[in-house]
Amino acid sequence: MSTIIYTRVSTNDQALEGISLSMQADRCESYARAHDLSDARVIEDAGFSASSLSRPGMQSLLALVAAGAVSDIVIFKLDRLSRSIMDFGALVTMLDKSNVKLHSVMDHIDTGSATGRFFTNIMMTVAQWEREVTGERVSQNLQFVKSQGFHLGTAPYGYSLLRNPAKNGKGSVLVPDAEKQIIALEIRRLRALGFGLATIAGMVNDSLRTDFGWGMQIKRVLDAPTISELVLCEGGYRHRIPADDLHRP
């Protein structure tokens, strides 16, 4: 049985540079030597997110654990393994059943003891809470940006994006495209009459000489907001956002 050092970086840039990977490996190797963990070898995941365990290096590690070939796993930090409480819990359970000890260098954790496992679970729970709070803040900020008259992302069918003149060109608003709005109105009329998406595509192509090749293109037009569903602001339109939504995550 051997010791495995597991390292991971999430971006391709980090993977190509190898700086973060080599740093993690160096710190883990020093830890392994200091704790008499012999025969340590490195398994890495370069450019993979920790949102799931579906990573080549992680799958190789799990296979070795299942085969009973691993006694200890050394990682730089707990988030190198997983950022999901569910995945992390399943992983720790598997390691515990296989009598594999998990060592986290920066977190000063060794799951060989009940106390180590206890603090591991607490730290992962806190880490997930921090990520969820960050996500809520980002969502609220995006809602606020929209409420100020900016449109985020690409323009839905029937509109073009225009730099907001009322905001000194910062941010974009939606400006209706007259020709596409006529087409969108015709598509909605035909849909209201009960025609299918593919049929509507053919009818619109024939009558308006457009090029809607298949039904999903029609669906995108139907999913685009109408002018009545938008709010007129300085310079153009923005999506209607109820005031309550500004306080929702």
Domains of the chain in start order, with CATH, are 2-137 (3.40.50.1390), 159-247 (no CATH)
Separation between Cα atoms, residue 6 and residue 21, nearest integer Å: 10
So what's the pLDDT on residue 63? 94
Question: Would you give the end-to-end CA distance of the chain in angstroms?
Answer: 47
Judged against a pLDDT cut of 50, whether residue 130 lies above it is answered with yes
DSSP bridge pairs for 5: 42, 74
Q: How far is CA 97 from CA 73, 92, 100, 120, 174, in A?
A: 14, 9, 8, 16, 57
Between 114-147 and 85-97, two packed helices, what is the crossing angle to 10 degrees?
Answer: 160
Judged against a pLDDT cut of 60, whether residue 21 lies above it is answered with yes
The residue type of 140 is: Q
Judged against a pLDDT cut of 70, whether residue 160 lies above it is answered with yes
Tokens coding 216: 């999903």
Separation between Cα atoms, residue 56 and residue 64, nearest integer Å: 13
Tell how strand 236-239 and strand 230-233 pair up: antiparallel
pLDDT, mean over the chain: 75
Average pLDDT over residues 4-28: 82
Most confident stretch, 133-137, 179-183, 190-194, 224-228: 190-194
So what's the pLDDT on residue 242? 40
Instruction: Please name the residue that has the structure tokens 């923005």.
Output: 238
So what's the pLDDT on residue 74? 95
So what's the pLDDT on residue 243? 37
DSSP bridge pairs for 93: none
In the chain, % of residues over pLDDT 90: 21
Could you tell me the sign of the dihedral formed by the alpha carbons of 11, 12, 13, 15, in that order? positive
Q: How confident is the model at residue 64 (pLDDT cuts 50, 70, 90)?
A: very high
Q: How confident is the model at residue 204 (pLDDT cuts 50, 70, 90)?
A: confident
Contact (Cβ atoms closer than 8 angstroms) between residue 110 and residue 101: yes
Judged against a pLDDT cut of 70, whether residue 212 lies above it is answered with no
Judged against a pLDDT cut of 70, whether residue 33 lies above it is answered with yes
Is 10 considered catalytic here?
Answer: yes
Burial 151-186 (b: 16+ CB within 10 A, else e): beeebbbbbeebebeebeeebbbbebeeebbebbeb
169 conformational bin, left if phi > 0, alpha if psi -120 to 50, beta if neither: left
| 165 vs 25: which has the higher pLDDT | 25
Check 10, 20, 82, 104 and give the catalytic one.
10
Most confident stretch, 61-65, 85-89, 178-182, 183-187: 61-65
Average pLDDT over residues 41-46: 93
Q: How confident is the model at residue 67 (pLDDT cuts 50, 70, 90)?
A: very high
Instruction: Please name the residue that has the structure tokens 């593919």.
Output: 198
131 CB-side CA count, 13 A: 13
Q: How confident is the model at residue 6 (pLDDT cuts 50, 70, 90)?
A: very high
Contact (Cβ atoms closer than 8 angstroms) between residue 40 and residue 34: no
Tell me which H or E stretch contains 132.
helix 114-147
Q: What is the DSSP letter of 164?
A: -
So what's the pLDDT on residue 246? 33
